Chain A
């Protein structure tokens, strides 16, 4: 659960994620444009990267939660941050969001060809199944990630889909695991200690 103290400022949060608040709050569902303008909305529609956020403004504390998953806070200082829309809980009102086409990357997780991009200065709250682990990527130390464990990443990273034949034969438990993501460059990748939509019903 995330507690956000507001003093007249605005945040944006996942629709329906408010579980409690005190003080005076106004909730405004963002219309079709989602604060990204008509062009952004159109792009989102095409990309299938559905995201419904609401604006919360007021004085006091608002409590946000979603399906009892873990919340991780990521401070942004101007760098770009990429996250699946379904993993986004809330963000500072000053941050800008948009849709980024990522090509084949999303195929592995069945989440389409696009991801949500957040930019600016402020804090983003993301959701993960189990506490997220942040892993730094430098040019000397590229990182490989299981697509099902990937949550988000930030910085200047090149993202490749590696369809290692070996990996495919070796890791195929379902169709999704035949690929891995390989990150190169400068940045941070967030992974969760569980596989999203895994084969196991827990």
Chain B
């Protein structure tokens, strides 16, 4: 047989330390603690324990570094010594260093971070903000592109942003325009391109984009929305039901 490839055989000693193994897998040289998202670890060598954030001994660490109740059940702490391999759906995986900075990233794409960083929920739903100094690992579908504001980005292609103010929603004028807009929202017709809504970035900083529009299921975002349904009365729920039905019909047409 002729190649594709026979892979390099890595051992615990030859695996790269805090670097990419392939474009799609990252190896953390663990000596202490790291926060990691559940289900993103594919293998590990050494003596590593995984603990839920709720477990008692981690109280101080969580109090200092993790400030997102919405996402707490998606995260764990890996503790010990060894080599930990991270990967996510065959996506590109990269590590980033923050030096006394801040960066906001799509929650589903953040795989792991060092306790030097603090995690907080962004104002934009579905995004998490990292503040401080340290390293984190994130996944993207296709390579990451760094661009500078002012720029408008498709919500699905947006991976995150650093140093600049949080974005604003931008809707194209044609989408806003009276009759067609109303007809569209009522009947789900009128040829929505799916591109009439963007995030608008201004100011100084960097915007991170992935080169596709594939995103993870926003499980936490759904939980958040579901949690808010409780405050709606029967009429509110009926209206929401109606809206979702229309939206579904429109999506099927696309």
Measured in the bound complex, the distance between the Cα atoms of B1 and A92 in whole Å is 8
Measured in the bound complex, the distance between the Cα atoms of B41 and A173 in whole Å is 12
Measured in the bound complex, the distance between the Cα atoms of B133 and A165 in whole Å is 33
**Nearest Cβ on chain B to A93's Cβ, whole angstroms:** 11
Known contacts A191-B85, A194-B89; is-contact A133 B50 (Cβ 8 Å): no
Known contacts A170-B52, A194-B88; is-contact A72 B5 (Cβ 8 Å): yes
The residue of chain B having its C-beta at the shortest distance from the C-beta of A135 within the complex is B10
Q: Let me know if B9 and A123 touch, CB within 8 A.
A: no
- Of B44, B46, B217, which is within 8 A of A199 by CB? B217
Q: Residues on B close to A: CB < 8 A?
A: 1-13, 15, 21-22, 24-25, 38-39, 41-46, 48-52, 76, 85, 87-90, 93, 141, 214, 216-217
Q: Residues on A close to B: CB < 8 A?
A: 1-5, 11, 70-75, 90, 92, 123, 125, 129-136, 138, 141-146, 149, 166-167, 169-173, 177, 188-195, 198-202
A-B contact count (CB 8 A): 142
* Residues of B contacting A3 in the complex (Cβ-Cβ under 8 angstroms): 2
Q: Let me know if A189 and B50 touch, CB within 8 A.
A: no
Known contacts A129-B90, A131-B24; is-contact A171 B11 (Cβ 8 Å): no
Q: Let me know if B4 and A193 touch, CB within 8 A.
A: no
The residue of chain B having its C-beta at the shortest distance from the C-beta of A131 within the complex is B22
Known contacts A171-B76, A195-B39, A202-B214; is-contact A134 B10 (Cβ 8 Å): yes
- Of A2, A129, A190, which is within 8 A of B1 by CB? A2
Q: Let me know if A146 and B41 touch, CB within 8 A.
A: yes
Measured in the bound complex, the distance between the Cα atoms of B5 and A92 in whole Å is 16
Q: Let me know if B90 and A194 touch, CB within 8 A.
A: yes
